[in-house]
Amino acid sequence: MLCAPSPTFGGHGGAEDACTFVCISDTHSRHEELAQLPPGDVLLHAGDFTRNGTVAEVSSFAIWWHAQPHAQKVLIAGARRSAVLGL
């Protein structure tokens, strides 16, 4: 099971067994500029989280990504995946 309803994320207004996704994409190394993301069970980044795919950009994103409170996280590397594959 990808997720079970999070005890810390109540009040989403859906069924008790609902799984809430927060979806973002194409942040191109501007993740720090995002407002606080909404609460949810799963955070999905649908690709292109760096500008140039450098290790420094990936590292910056990884620190931000791991700091997000969502119980489950799904990351799709996108077009600039060479730095991700090298880690």
E strands, the chain, in order: 21-24, 42-45, 72-75
Does the model's pTM come out above 0.85? Answer: no
pLDDT in tens, 47-69: 999 999 889 999 999 999 999 99
Give me the long-range contacts of 79-83 (CB less than 8 A, separation at least 24).
79/47, 79/48, 80/48, 80/50, 80/51, 80/52, 80/53, 81/53, 82/53, 83/50, 83/53, 83/54, 83/55, 83/57, 83/58
Can you give the pLDDT at residue 17? 73
Q: What is the DSSP letter of 33?
A: G
